């Protein structure tokens, strides 16, 4: 999920053109005063994922951090789309897709180039099902989850790009569906009910799929573009709910405080409950995985609705800065750092190797963010400003005529 998306969603306008076709005046989107807390949540989620990949004791269920990212992404993207529809009366799909590509793809390209160099240096990557070039094409085409789900293959140092694939595939489908629902003037309750059915149905299907005859979980289900959409769809459902002024008012009271603390407590409990033997407890895992999406939604809903010690802590400037500026780079680069330095550092530092690797990965991520993402964002801002100036000059010329 991009930084610009959070900022755009946070500043969504106040003129509402509802799904039923009526135009009313509504408060700004619910992100306006809580975006920094969501940035802080991104920091917590990426650190959990990194500690999981570093095999730190107590974080065996750390891939739950990816579930948090998915819910957050669904929530923010849908809030952005609803805000655009509220302001302009329409959703520009082409602009949406181009912005996402420009925000995410350059950093991915640089990481893949570095990954190919690393792969060539160390030789055939252990456990990979493809050559470096083939794995790179899979990563750049956003199809990693398909290969992992349907063909049970791995892509070496690019294996973690499956989650990026899941998101981008979902956002090829969801925005057009949302536009279609607006075109046919679908009622808000129908949108919420339909998406709720999708979440519940996919959750049940996911749980049933994990109940294999041998009693062990089938990891490929986790990467399924169909069964794995539960957290993304849950985030979209949360955005639709909080887009209603009455729901926001309700969440701004006791409900928001309860959601924050219950969501945080249950998320920690789920993370702890899923140990390193999760593959042998398919029934439990099949329940906890989709449940983590609902729990994440509770926490996110609370964070954007009320001020609590949790939101204050997550809004602390260094924490929010890391989530806003570095989290995407951290996700992209930490597997490469682990692959390149893991064995060497473990031999030198022993039990504390994970700490050195974590610090190195963070430094690399900060460098990558400021070397790649920041310059590109500046170019995008200059381009947008140039377009605005050109549009203003054309308008002035037309008025003069």
Average model confidence (pLDDT) across the chain: 82
Shortest CA distance to 60 belongs to which of 69, 51, 68? 51
pLDDT at residue 87 is higher than 80: yes
Contact residues for 85 (Cβ-Cβ < 8 A; gap 6+): 17, 91, 182
Burial of 391 (0-12, 13-18, 19+ CB in 10 A): exposed
Angle at 307 between CA 306 and CA 308, to 5 degrees: 110
The phi-psi region of residue 56 (left if phi > 0; otherwise alpha if psi is between -120 and 50; otherwise beta) is beta
- CA dist 132 and 116 (Å) reads 6
* H-state helical runs in 54-92: 64-88
Output the pLDDT for position 347: 79
What pLDDT, in 10s, does the model give residues 350-396? 778 999 999 999 999 999 999 999 998 888 788 777 767 766 666 66
Query: Which residue range is the domain that position 349 belongs to?
Result: 3-400
Highest mean pLDDT among 15-19, 98-102, 280-284, 324-328: 324-328
d(CA 79, CA 243): 8
- How many CB atoms are closer than 10 A to CB 230? 28
Give the tens place of pLDDT for each residue, 312-351.
999 999 999 999 999 999 999 999 999 888 888 887 877 7
DSSP label at residue 62? T
CA distance 9 to 87: 11
| Nearest of 350, 228, 208, 349 to residue 287 by alpha carbon | 208
Res. 149: pLDDT tops 90? no
Q: For the chain, how many structural domains are there in total?
A: 1
- Pair 173, 236: CB distance under 8 Å: no
Instruction: Give, as one character, the DSSP assignment of residue 275.
Output: -
**pLDDT at residue 368 in the model:** 96
Task: State how far the alpha carbon of 141 is from the alpha carbons of 161, 208, 222, 246, 363, in Å.
Answer: 10, 30, 20, 41, 28
Reported confidence tier of residue 28, pLDDT bands at 50, 70, 90: very low
Tell me the C-alpha distance between 75 and 31, whole Å: 10
Is the pLDDT reported for residue 24 higher than 50?
no
For residue 75, pLDDT beyond 50? yes
Residue 301 CA, chain-centre distance (Å), reads: 15
Distance of CA 233 to CAs 75, 77, 270, Å?
Answer: 9, 11, 19
Between 72 and 191, the more confident residue is 72
Q: Residue 329 belongs to what H/E stretch?
A: helix 327-349
């Amino acid at each position: 999920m991009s930084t610009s998306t959070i900022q755009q969603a946070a500043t969504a306008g106040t003129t509402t053109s509802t799904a039923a076709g009526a135009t009313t005046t509504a408060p700004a989107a619910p992100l306006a005063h809580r975006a920094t807390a969501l940035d802080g949540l991104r920091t917590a989620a990426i650190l959990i994922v990194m500690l999981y990949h570093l095999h730190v004791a107590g974080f065996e269920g750390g891939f739950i951090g990816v579930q948090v990212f998915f819910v957050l992404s669904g929530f923010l993207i849908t809030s952005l789309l609803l805000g655009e529809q509220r302001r302009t009366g329409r959703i520009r799909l082409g602009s949406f897709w181009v912005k996402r590509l420009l925000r995410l793809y350059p950093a991915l390209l640089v990481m893949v180039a570095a990954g190919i160099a690393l792969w060539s240096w160390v030789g055939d990557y252990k456990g990979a099902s493809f050559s470096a070039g083939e794995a790179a094409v899979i990563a750049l085409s956003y199809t990693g989850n398909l290969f992992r789900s349907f063909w049970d293959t791995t892509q070496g140092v690019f294996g973690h790009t499956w989650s990026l694939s899941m998101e981008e595939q979902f956002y090829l489908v969801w925005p057009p569906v949302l536009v279609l629902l607006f075109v046919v003037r679908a009622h808000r309750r129908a949108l919420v009910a339909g998406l709720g059915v999708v979440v519940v149905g996919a959750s049940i299907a996911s749980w049933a799929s994990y109940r294999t005859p041998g009693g062990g979980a089938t990891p490929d289900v986790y990467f399924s573009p169909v069964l794995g959409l539960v957290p993304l769809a849950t985030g979209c459902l949360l955005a639709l709910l909080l887009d209603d002024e009455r729901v926001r008012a309700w969440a701004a009271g006791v409900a928001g405080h309860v959601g924050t603390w219950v969501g945080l407590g249950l998320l920690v409990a789920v993370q702890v409950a899923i140990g390193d033997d999760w593959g042998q407890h398919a029934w439990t895992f099949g329940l906890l995985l989709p449940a983590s999406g609902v729990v994440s939604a509770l926490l996110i809903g609370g964070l954007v609705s009320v001020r609590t010690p949790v939101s204050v802590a997550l809004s602390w400037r260094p924490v929010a800065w890391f989530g806003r500026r570095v989290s995407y780079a951290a996700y992209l680069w930490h597997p490469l750092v682990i692959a390149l330095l893991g064995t060497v550092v473990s031999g030198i530092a022993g039990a504390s190797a994970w700490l050195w690797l974590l610090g190195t990965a963070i430094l690399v991520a900060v460098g990558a963010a400021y070397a790649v993402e920041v310059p590109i964002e500046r170019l995008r801002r200059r381009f947008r400003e140039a377009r605005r100036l050109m549009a203003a000059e054309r308008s002035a010329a037309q008025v003069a005529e």
